[in-house]
Each structure stands twice: as structure tokens, then as C-alpha cells.
Amino acid sequence: MTEEAHGSSSSGVPELPTFFDLLPIDKHAEIFGLTMHQLLPIVMSMLIIGFLGFFSMMATRNLTKVPGGLQAILEIVVEALDSFVQSILGKMSDKFLPFIGTLFLYILIMNLIGQVPLLHSPTTNYNTTLALTLLVFFATHYYGLKHNGPVKYFKHMLGEPRWMSPMLFPLHLVSEIITRPLSLSMRLYGNLMGGHTVLSIFIGLSPLLLGFIPIPIHFPFVLLDLLLAALQAFIFAFLASFYIAGSIGEKHL
């Protein structure tokens, strides 16, 4: 969370003020062993989950054959996500659409919500992106084992050709356990944190007209941040689909 006077996080990185700064609470207090700054991404994540759940219930409570309003918006989103997942997972797309679609929408809203004054993007915290990555990691290997069985999945890890397995297996293992999770989590965190930091700096540098009207020199960075937010949500969902498709095997595509 931002400090009261300096507009920077406890780590010294510039951040915009949030609604936590307006609450009459001790900024250095701890709840369940977590500081206010550490609690902010958790609170924002819970609010986003609640919003997505409420929106889904409102959009699907009175389904009709001719959609209108929220149902029409939701159907457009679902059809677009279905086409995207199907392009990677083929006939298995129906099985993984709920997981990949939820990941995409959840990450997209988390990325975008930082543009709303006094709100905060949870994906600028590495704990959030790491938790999302662990979901993809366990889902990838769970479905790989489930669809192929332990023996066939192990053979998949050995790689082709078999005579190169002594060299390929350690590389494949390091990639699956370390490289992929680290790159997936750091890519999302680094891009979002960098984008929001640059935006915070330029907002702080914005001059004032007549002493109180800010000149929005940061506006181009707002547009760049919006593009970055959508792009990173897409990349995360794409890589999650790609990893799952690879673990299942080509015969399921």
C-alpha cells in the first residue's frame, strides 16, 4: 500500500494512492501477520472474484433464446473464448474452456482495475502471479497424468529420439518445474508492475494549470497500460492452454 505522504510502497516503488489510504487505520498495523500493504492485493482479488460472480449470476438468471443486455455481452465473451481455446486444444476445448476462460477474465480484470482511481491491480504483486502460475502448473501435470497414464506421461517427459533421453529428460524436468513457472509468473508480474510504476511516475510529474487542474501528460501511458493489461492476460491464457495441450498429447488435439 502507498505510504501516507510519499506515494510509494514499502519497497520504495512509486504507487498511486488507494482506498486503504483513506481508511482511519494504522498503516503499520498487522492483521493475521500481514501488513496493510500485503493485505491490499488479497482484498482486491476477493472484490474482483465477488464482482465476476455477481455479474455472471445477473447475466444468466433469466436466459432467453434471443439474448439481450448482459446475456448478449456474456455470450459474445464466451464465444470468443471458446474459439480461442479451440484453436489450441481442438476437440478437448469444451473440457478446458471454464478453466482457461476464468483465468483470462480474472487476470484481465485484475490488470485493468488499477486504472480506476483508488483501486489497485493485484497482479502488481508477485504473490498473486505466482499463485496463478501454480494453478496452471498443477492443472498441466494433473491432466497430463489423467489422460496419458503415469507410464505414457513419463515417456513423454523422456522426449524424442529415445537415445537422447539421458540429456533431454533433465532439461525437460527443469523446464517443467522451474523455467516455465518462473517465466510465466515473472512475465505477468514484471510487465504489470513496470507499467503501473511508469504511470505513477508520470502522474506525479504532471504539472498543474491554475494551481489545481492537472495537465494529463500521463494519458499516452494510460492507453499503453490498457493495451499491456489485455495483452498480458491473453499471453497468460495462451501459454496455459499451450502447456496443457502439450501435456495431454497431440492425439487429443
SS3 string, the chain, reads CCCCCCCECCCCCECCCEHHHHCCCCCCCEECCEEHHHHHHHHHHHHHHHHHHHHHHHHHCCCCCCCCCHHHHHHHHHHHHHHHHHHHHHHHHHHHHHHHHHHHHHHHHHHHHHHCCECCCHHHCHHHHHHHHHHHHHHHHHHHHHHHHHHHHHHHHHCCCHHHHHHHHHHHHHHHHHHHHHHHHHHHHHHHHHHHHHHHHHHHHCCEECCCEECCCCHHHHHHHHHHHHHHHHHHHHHHHHHHHHHHCHHHC
Q: Which of 220, 224, 223, 217 is nearest to 203 (CA)?
A: 217
pLDDT at 47: 95
Q: pLDDT of the chain along its 253 residues, tens only?
A: 333 333 555 555 677 778 887 788 776 777 877 888 888 899 999 999 999 999 888 888 888 887 777 888 888 999 999 999 999 998 888 999 999 999 999 999 999 998 888 899 999 999 999 999 999 999 999 998 888 888 888 877 777 777 677 777 888 888 888 999 999 999 999 999 998 888 888 887 777 665 666 777 778 888 888 999 999 999 999 999 999 998 887 444 4
pLDDT at 34: 80
C-beta of residue 71 within 8 angstroms of C-beta of residue 78: no
pLDDT at 161: 73
φ, ψ of residue 121 in degrees (nearest 5)? -85, 115
pLDDT at 10: 54
C-beta of residue 188 within 8 angstroms of C-beta of residue 134: no
Residue 239 CB neighbours (<10 A): 18
pLDDT at 20: 80
pLDDT at 186: 96
Q: Which cell goes with 128?
A: 498473486
pLDDT at 187: 95
Query: How many angstroms separate the CA atoms of 8 and 37, rounded?
Result: 11
Query: How many angstroms separate the CA atoms of 35 and 160, rounded?
Result: 49
pLDDT at 211: 61
pLDDT at 252: 42
